[in-house]
Structures are given as structure tokens and as C-alpha cells.
Amino acid sequence: MSPKSTRRSLLGTLFAAAAGGLAGCADLLGPRELAHEVEMYNRRDTAHTLTVRVENAGGDALYRQTFEIDGDRAREGTEPFTGAPTAVVVTVDDREPIERDWPDPNCEQQGTRSAGGVDVYLLPDGEVRLEPTCDTIYAE
């Protein structure tokens, strides 16, 4: 047997063993669950307290967080959450809560693997606007 064929056999065996080992590791991790996220943007000049609550069809909270955000700042990369959101309730400072439907981003139609999320904007005129997102986020 030539040295080249022995080396090829050894390398082939090592690659096969490594691939089998990696496949086993992937099984230990299990499938990763897609999650939603909420990101907050304060487009006003002054700091505000924004509380956001995401609810499912039964009115149960899937996500609730209060943000202290300086003027013209954002809070991105918030805690991911799972479930089937149907509504977003935003409270600015001590004002009455504003309830909006959870936006449908149609991520699959856009060719993105995502559960969908929402960006919440406090606009300069004090209005609250929601924009759907299709970032790929996984539950922790």
C-alpha cells in the first residue's frame, strides 16, 4: 500500500468520525425555538418611561417591560419571548395605555425564518407607532 492511500484512508476516517461527533452534539442541543422581540425607540427630545405589555388572545401577558429611555435613544436587543401575541399595550409615562394589534410581518412570505417582532416608536408629536420586524431571534 502506498503512503498516499494510507494517508487518504486515515484522513477519511478522521473526517467521518468528526462529522458523526458533530451530529451527535446537534442532537443534544435540540431544536432552537424562534421567538419574538420588542425594541423601543424614543424619538422625542426628552426622556420618557415606556411600559410595553404584549398579550395573547386570552389577555395573558407574554412579555412586560418598563424602559427608561433618554431623548432620541433606543432600547434594542430586549428579552425574547414565545407565544402567540395578538396585542401590544404601550403606556407612556403616566398617560392612558394605548392598545394596538400585534402587527403581522409576513416573514415567511419575505423569505425570512422569523417569529416576527415589533419596533415601538414614541414619535416627536407623542404618538405611538408600531412597525413589524422579521429579525431571526431564538428563545433563550
State the pTM of this model. Answer: 0.77
Q: Is the pLDDT of residue 10 over 70?
A: no
Region 70-97: mean pLDDT is 96
- What are the residue boundaries of the structural domains of the chain, listed by start? 1-30, 34-138
pLDDT tens-digit map of 18-60: 544 444 444 455 689 999 999 999 999 999 999 999 999 999 9
For domain 34-138, which architecture applies?
A: Sandwich (2.60)
pLDDT tens-digit map of 86-127: 999 999 999 999 999 999 988 999 899 999 999 999 999 999
More confident residue, 8 or 37: 37
Enclosing H/E stretch for 27 = helix 3-29
CA distances from 81 to 25, 63, 64, 98, 123 (A): 25, 7, 10, 21, 25
More confident residue, 128 or 14: 128
For residue 138, report the phi and psi dihedrals to the nearest 5 degrees: -115, 150
